[in-house]
Amino acid sequence: MPEAHLVRPLPWNCSPLHVMRFWRTDLPLLSLVSGGPPTKHSRFSVFAPRRACVRVNRQQHDRSQLEAALDQVGAPCRPIRCGEITLPFAGGWIGFVGYECGAMFEPSARLRDGAGSLSAGQLWPDAVLCDVPRAAVHCHTTGRWFDVGEATGEGPEEWIDTSTVLQPQRFKLRRSLDRGSAAGRATFEAMVERTRELILAGDIFQANITRGFSAGIAGSPRALALHALATTAPRHGAFLELDAHTALLSLSPELFLSIDGASRRISTRPMKGTRPAGEDPEALRTSSKDAAELHMIVDLMRNDLGRICEIGSVSVSEQRTIEHHATVWQAVAEVSGTLPEQMPVSRAFAACFPPGSVTGAPKVRAMQVIDALEAGPRSAYCGAIGMASRCGSSHFAVAIRTARLTRDVGDRWDVDYHAGCGIVADSNPADEHLECIAKTQVFMDALASASPRGSDHGSEHFGGDAGQLAPLRLGKSDMACDPMTLHALDEMRKTIAGSVEVGIVDLPDVAAQHDLRAVADA
């Protein structure tokens, strides 16, 4: 198995959000951003320019074509180790697989022959997988940056433009997120009640029912993403500029699948049970209803992993626990197993997609209920966002707390956002509505934080057309989740300016000097 073409330490003393801040405005960005205190599944961030993309939709492609796209990670290479750090990416793809792709793996899950995700002017396919031969990877536990992949073309030094600090990107809110719609609430509560009827009739055990919200911005989607990621610090954040007319922003707290290329361990961390961050988490901890929701999905994911893992290797590696995230408490557990050697990422998707926490149990019947009750496609929401690498590692978040941005006219963008809840026999429609609203708060807070200073916006409103474009402020007060000072920005400019002189042709020699090689697992 060949080694990675390039592994080079970068002389950057900055956070991932500062790299996003300085990313060239003319270079489309793909970014997977881990926020908050590092955990074993959220220790790395990956940045790369968008190049060629594979776009999949159910009207034009079948399951075999989707699986072929998922497995196009490039020539396999050994895992990359730098001291005690094993980097998760050595080139491959970054992108999303939308919820409706689940019907490509299991056609019986879809009851209606709808238009799929090709909405908003036919701009949104069911999946977009972007080829990433080279990327900049940040390790949050050490603060170090690495240049990985193929040593050809422009490198990370050319992806950055520090002069943009003098002309910050801006955005403003032009249409608020309407969480107070009586019609929207009534429709959602009716879906919840119908789901309860099916459960009480013995048709299903649980289904995840969702509803949509919409908003609008003017200005830069990247500015919106930077504000949102800085203010919420999601464990599995992402911002993907998919083309000139579409972008995806995710503030997900939930891990769908993580595959370690060296050990072949695969893990999933389903979440079920939510309370607002201002409430006592003990109420969630002792809730039998919420515990039952999670236990069902844990059993479902054990079954999914059991279809592909080595016999006897699947276990609940972490029992139900309560985690704090930006605006909510979440109940979560972890299920892990060991994959056979050489198993492609498409097999993992075929066995586990869509994530159990956003479908229900039994999964296929729950998906049929969702298809019958919900008015339109979920698209990227409730799918998976992440990366697959040629070194055998993969990392995918569940695409919840996720906004789909579609260009309207000029610099005006429509924002589509969804939230939902797991429905069980003793669910109360009004309570489920409140939980659904609580899950929109993280996005509400991110947008409200960008309101022009002096504006009077209540917690139910993002703002309006009045006022000036709000500048990005990434000083110490705005970066509490990832503290960096203006001095660090100056140091970044100096190190980037110095490293440009090295040149692309010197990269292999630099990597050799630091003795950073891709080595096989012991």
**Percent of the chain predicted with pLDDT > 70:** 82
Please tell me the predicted confidence (pLDDT) of residue 520: 27
Summarised one tens digit per residue, pLDDT across range 315-342 is 999 999 999 988 889 999 999 999 999 8
Which pLDDT value is given to residue 173?
87
pTM of the model: 0.85
Strands 394-398 and 127-132: unpaired
Residue 1 has pLDDT above 60, yes or no: no
Structure tokens at 65: 């074509």
Q: Which residue shows structure tokens 């020699």?
A: 509
Nearest-10 Cα torsion for 513, 518, 521, 522: -30
Angstrom distance (rounded) from CA 490 to CA 473: 16
Torsion, CA 487, CA 489, CA 490, CA 494, rounded to 10: 140
Which residues fall within 8 angstroms of residue 2, CB to CB, at 6 or more apart?
Answer: 75, 76, 77, 78
DSSP 101: G
Q: Which amino acid is present at 514?
A: H
223 and 201 in contact (C-beta within 8 Å)? no
Mean pLDDT of the chain: 83
Q: Which residues pair with 255 in a beta bridge?
A: 397
User: Can you tell me the distance from the alpha carbon of 20 to that of 31, in angstroms, rounded to the nearest whole number?
Assistant: 8
Q: Does residue 503 carry a pLDDT above 60?
A: no
Six token digits for residue 455: 């504006």
Active site residue 272: yes
- Please state, in angstroms and rounded to a whole number, the distance separating the CA atoms of residues 13 and 65: 42
Q: Which residue has the higher pLDDT, 517 or 298?
A: 298
For residue 463, give the 3-state DSSP assignment.
coil
pLDDT band, very low/low/confident/very high, at 497 (cuts 50, 70, 90)? very low
Q: What is the pLDDT of residue 408?
A: 94
Q: Would you call 127 helix, strand, or coil by DSSP?
A: strand
Q: Which region holds residue 323: left if phi is over 0, alpha if psi is between -120 and 50, else beta?
A: beta
Q: Retrieve residue 125's tokens.
A: 């396919």
Residue 211 has pLDDT above 80, yes or no: yes
Side chain identity, residue 59: Q
Does position 467 have pLDDT exceeding 60, yes or no? no
pLDDT digits (tens, 9 = 90+) for 109-146: 987 754 444 444 457 999 999 999 999 999 999 999 99
Write down the catalytic residue from 67, 189, 241, 272: 272
With a cut of 70, say whether residue 224 has pLDDT above it: yes
Q: Which of 100, 157, 254, 435 is catalytic?
A: 254
- 160 forms beta bridges with 23
Is residue 3 over pLDDT 70? no
Q: What pairs with residue 106 in β-bridges?
A: none
Set out the domains of the chain in order of their start, with CATH numbers.
26-42+96-132+169-489 (3.60.120.10)
Widest Cα–Cα separation across the chain: 70
Look at residue 463 in the predicted model and tell me its pLDDT: 25
pLDDT tens, position by position, 400-458:
999 999 999 999 999 999 999 999 999 999 999 999 998 898 888 777 755 443 333 32
> Residue 163's pLDDT is what?
74
Amino acid 122: pLDDT: 57
